Chains A and B, each alone.
Chain A
Amino acid sequence: MIEAQNLTKSYGDTKAVSDLTFTVKPGIVTGFLGPNGSGKSTTMRLILGLDAPTEGDVTVNGKRYAEFPAPLHEVGALLEARSVHTGRSAYNHLLAQAQTHGIPRSRVDDLIELVGLESVAKKRAGQFSLGMGQRLGIASALLGDPEVVMLDEPVNGLDPDGIRWIRDLMKTLAAEGRTVFLSSHLMSEMALTADHLIVIGRGRLIADVSVDEFIRRHSKHIVVVRSPQATQLAELVAGPDVTANAVEPGLLEIQGLTAAQIGTEAAAHDIVLHELAPRQASLEDAFIELTRDEVEFHATTSTHNDLEGALAA
């Protein structure tokens, strides 16, 4: 369990994190989503006590991180920026971390095997690829068998195989009852891995919802229709809950009706269809839209409306 209460961090005049209040619950994977520079990494550093909050507080299982007598058993973290001495081997890095808590060498060996770094464990970490570095970071995070696992952009630099491995790992950890807190700037990744979402933009909380709820609320179903009688069709289907945008002559994007409904309607009026394709606007679009709206609402409102107006016309 991670609890942030009015968490704020300012660097000079800029607020990297602003009045964040959220709870990360055990037993599920919680995604921490936001564009680059939105304050995710800062929030994670605040959780670990690497940075001190300007205002507010954040606790892990009821205590501040620094108050734990054995912090690596409480929280295991992979931070986005590399946190390994480039001149030291992966094995020795993990060993030095383990020794602070009296964790035995056998555990270091187990983790190296778990993350698949056996063949390069004695190599200097500076020679590692980004993906190998991520694996080392994950080994480091799991070293203390922690109740809370916090990973900042863990899939960065991993190959598809590695990405799937991380997903499975996160789900397994959560199923074991741990708190899993995972940051990403990719909504699509979160949709596959996370159960719950905390979305921030420019350091502010935008949404704190389950992934299902987020998808339901934000994904738009659109039907793309190509027809020589597009204008006629648009007039036909238009209604209070239905919008038909002419993307280009002969091409409509209809929202509010299913493909079946449109097809039936067209047939009833002898309208020729060349294409009838349901599309789901990607979650990525929904996320970008959401963060843009929240973050730059005042600056771009007029332009945004003008753009929509232009498209609808």
Chain B
Amino acid sequence: MSTVTALPALRTRSHSGRVTQMRVALSEWTKLRTLRSTRYALFAGVVMTIGFAIIPALVNASRWSTMSVIDKASFRPLETSLIGVTIAQLAIGVLGVLIISGEYSTGMIRSTFSAVPKRLPVLWGKAGVFGLVTLVLALPSTLIAFFAAQAILKGHSLNGHDIALSFSDPGVARAVVGGALYLTLVGLFGLGLGAIFRNTAAGISAFAAILFVIPPLMGVLPASWNNAISPYLPSNAGSAIMQTGNPAHTLAPWTGLGVFAAYTAVAIAIAAIQLRRRDV
């Protein structure tokens, strides 16, 4: 170990070539899958998405016979099966922040940018890999959440109609698939914030403030202001994709998701500009 006998290994036969976007993406995939925290957070996201669909479905199914007609009429089987998405977004968003802020806090970022000094391919690689991984996990999760919840609700009826929904009912496929898209965007939004703040605590605080703290605070505004502003807040806009029946003061589903996608794009664009300019 302390001798120079192993030194012939120093020279490689050939230099394998240049940095490409695909190679950086592969490297980012390796980084993503080799951290315990990432695996836990993704697992938590899946469990929350499915678990928090099944639990409320079970609760409502078990007390359906004792519920008042008004409660029964206001029960929303689709939204119930997507409650888990709004809880899982915390895990996914925090993970998005950590994927980049963790590199700053540990000093890994210096290794990363030494290997890829142009820097931007790293941001695109992280966003691409994390976005894809989140989508690939979120889509089956929301589907399982939906079908599991509806299976539990099946057999309970209101005015002679079974309350369980079918995937082909109007707006259902859009909401279920949209839930997975929303989660993916939440993750990327977190990634953008993590890259802007370069600090885990600051990134997570900003993420929580924007998605969870500011929306309820809007209630202090005059109703007309609140109704005008609230639909455009990131989480309200994005979650419109998971609602049916066009509720008041809510953007149309795809418009809302588009607005949230625009916020995400802005966050990542700011991150990209700063990444190019700042010292590491």
Q: Which residues from chain A sit less than 8 Å from chain B, CB to CB?
A: 45, 48-52, 65-66, 68-73, 75, 77, 79, 81-89, 92-93, 95-97, 99-104, 107, 110-111, 113-114, 116, 140, 142, 144-145, 161-162, 164-165, 168-169, 172-173, 176
Contact = CB atoms under 8 A, between A and B. Distances in A.
A85 B117 contact: no
Contact of B10 (A69, A114, A116): A114
Interface string B23-50: 1101110110011110000000000000
Nearest to B22: A102
Contacts of B12: 103, 107, 145
Given A162-B2, A164-B2, A173-B10, A83 B118 contact: no
Given A168-B4, A169-B7, A99 B110 contact: no
20 contacts: A45-B280, A51-B280, A70-B15, A70-B17, A77-B114, A79-B107, A81-B107, A83-B110, A84-B108, A87-B37, A92-B30, A93-B111, A99-B23, A103-B12, A113-B9, A114-B7, A114-B9, A145-B11, A165-B4, A172-B7
Nearest to B33: A92
- Most B C-beta atoms less than 10 A away, residue of A85, A161, A165: A85
Given A49-B117, A85-B31, 17 more contacts: A45-B279, A50-B279, A69-B19, A71-B114, A73-B15, A77-B114, A100-B23, A100-B24, A100-B116, A102-B16, A102-B18, A103-B12, A113-B6, A114-B7, A114-B10, A116-B1, A176-B10
Contacts of A169: 4, 7
Contacts of A45: 110, 279-280
Contacts of B110: 45, 48, 50, 79, 81, 83
Contacts of A99: 23, 26-27, 30
Interface in B99-116: 102-103, 106-111, 113-116
A92 B279 contact: no
A89 B36 CA distance: 11
B246 interface: no
B191 to A, nearest CB: 16
**Chain B interface residue bracket vs A:** 35 or more
B278 to A, nearest CB: 9
Interface string B136-152: 00000000000000000
B3 interface: yes
Contacts, number: 145
Contact of A65 (B1, B17, B18, B117): B117
Interface of B: 1-4, 6-7, 9-12, 15-20, 23-24, 26-28, 30-31, 34-37, 102-103, 106-111, 113-118, 279-280
Contacts of B107: 79, 81-84
A264 B34 CA distance: 73
Contact of A83 (B6, B15, B35, B108): B108
